[in-house]
Chain A
Amino acid sequence: GQQLNQSPQSMFIQEGEDVSMNCTSSSIFNTWLWYKQDPGEGPVLLIALYKAGELTSNGRLTAQFGITRKDSFLNISASIPSDVGIYFCAGLNYGGSQGNLIFGKGTKLSVKP
Chain B
Amino acid sequence: NAGVTQTPKFRVLKTGQSMTLLCAQDMNHEYMYWYRQDPGMGLRLIHYSVGEGTTAKGEVPDGYNVSRLKKQNFLLGLESAAPSQTSVYFCASTRRQGHGYTFGSGTRLTVV
Contact = CB atoms under 8 A, between A and B. Distances in A.
Interface of A: 1, 30-31, 33, 35, 40-45, 48, 50, 88, 92, 94, 98-101, 103-106
Of A30, A43, A88, the most chain B CB neighbours within 10 A belong to: A43
A22 B48 CA distance: 27
A85 to B, nearest CB: 13
Contacts of B106: 40-42
B45 to A, nearest CB: 6
A98 B56 contact: yes
B25 to A, nearest CB: 12
Given A45-B100, A92-B97, A103 B105 contact: no
A31 B98 contact: yes
A81 to B, nearest CB: 21
B74 interface: no
Q: Which are the 8 A-B pairs with shortest beta-carbon distances?
A: A42-B103, A105-B42, A45-B100, A99-B97, A103-B43, A42-B105, A43-B103, A31-B98
Contacts of B41: 105
Q: Is the interface of A mostly helix, strand, loop or mixed?
A: loop
A94 B99 CA distance: 11
A2 to B, nearest CB: 11
B33 to A, nearest CB: 7
B43 A88 contact: yes
A30 B41 CA distance: 24
A102 B58 CA distance: 11
A42 B42 contact: no
A1 B59 CA distance: 9
A33 B105 contact: no
A42 B97 contact: no
Nearest to B108: A40
Contact of A40 (B43, B58, B105): B105
Contacts of B42: 88, 103-106
Contacts of A101: 101
A45 B97 contact: no
B37 to A, nearest CB: 9
